[in-house]
Structure 1
Amino acid sequence: MGINVSIPPGFAYGADEALPDMPQGLTVADAAYHTVHGYPGGVAALAVRMGMPASTLTHKANPNNDTHHLRADELVAMQALSGNFAVLHAMAAALGHVCTPAAPDQSDGDPVEAFMLQQRAQGEYSAAVADALQLVHPTRSAVGRVDARAQDLIATISHQVAVVRGRMRPEPRV
């Protein structure tokens, strides 16, 4: 579960202001190509792990090939084996979503503990944002800290919702 806040550039910047550089993500096809070709040991090593000939995987990962395509289960296997989730992120971006790694629930189902963990994560996120905003030009490290704390906060909110949902009274059977 993730949070996505998007402000169109026209609302965020005045008519006379230059828009900032906004790097575009990879397409799904390009992400698949880079995942396959960036695998340690190359295409041949990943193909062996996926149980297919290297030539077939090469053709399937070629964004210019119209005859061979990676199936959904192959895309999942490719990402799981490589640890590279660029395809997942490209798919989410193409659909207007973001992906957040799932973190294990630390509350063990205790609603008070879940609330406390969420509040702590909120404080750590706020502190990271405040630290970054004190800098005229935030460093890569400061931005990375904000991102990491945001991901933690999103995960703790998801766990808190799950704990509350788990305490719902069962609906009567009809």
Structure 2
Amino acid sequence: MNTADAAYHVVHDYPGGSESLGPRVDISAAVLRNKVNRTPPKEGKRHHLTLEEAVRITDFTDDDRILRAWARQRGLLLVKAPAGSSECDMGMLEKVAAFMIASGVFGKEIYDSLADGRVDQREVGRVENAGNHVMTEVAEVVQRMKGMVG
């Protein structure tokens, strides 16, 4: 998903959509709707979401899809920093379990894409997304381990 698609979905998936979210991030509902509209206007000027607005929307909604899409475009992965300076055994176990689940999904996506003897772009995208998720989970385990040092 690219950043424009991510912005569209963040706004439209917010309860009440642009009508509800716009006033909360200091953008009129109609302007916000136009800024994330994926269909070019027939006439007139198209509105564009600024970086500052994208940050406000991300912060307010607590939805990282725009940021994640931008990171993927740049070939990067986002890793959430550990909340505290120490980590409990149960939290670490949960992170390792999340990594194992992500690894299973990654393996299944590869298996499914190869099952018919050919691979299409949609399948590659699913494998790539699942692989990115595995790498993110690994990085989060490492971050948690770093939080345990001390």
Give structure 1 stretches of 5+ with no counterpart. Answer: 1-25, 108-113, 165-174
Match of 1:155 among 130, 134, 143: 143
CA distance in 2 between partners of 1:97 and 1:157 (Å): 21
Give structure 2 stretches of 5+ with no counterpart. Answer: 110-129
CA distance in 2 between partners of 1:137 and 1:57 (Å): 38
Alignment size in residue pairs: 117
Bigger Cα Rg: 1
Match of 2:7 among 28, 32, 36: 32
TM-score (normalizing by structure 2): 0.60
The 1:54–1:137 alpha-carbon spacing in structure 2 relative to 1, beyond 3 Å, is closer
Match of 2:46 among 63, 67, 75: 67
Match runs of 1:18-167 below 5 Å = 26-65=1-40, 67-107=46-86, 121=92, 125=96, 129=100, 150=138, 152-159=140-147
TM-score (normalizing by structure 1): 0.53
Where 1:74 maps in the other structure, the secondary structure is helix
CA RMSD of aligned residues (A): 3.8
The 1:90–1:43 alpha-carbon spacing in structure 2 relative to 1, beyond 3 Å, is same
Show CA shifts across 1:88-109 (max 9, x none). Answer: 11000000011112222334xx
Q: Which structure shows the bigger proportion of residues in helix conformation?
A: 2
CA distance in 1 between partners of 2:144 and 2:74 (Å): 24
1:121 and 1:152 in contact (8 A); partners too: no
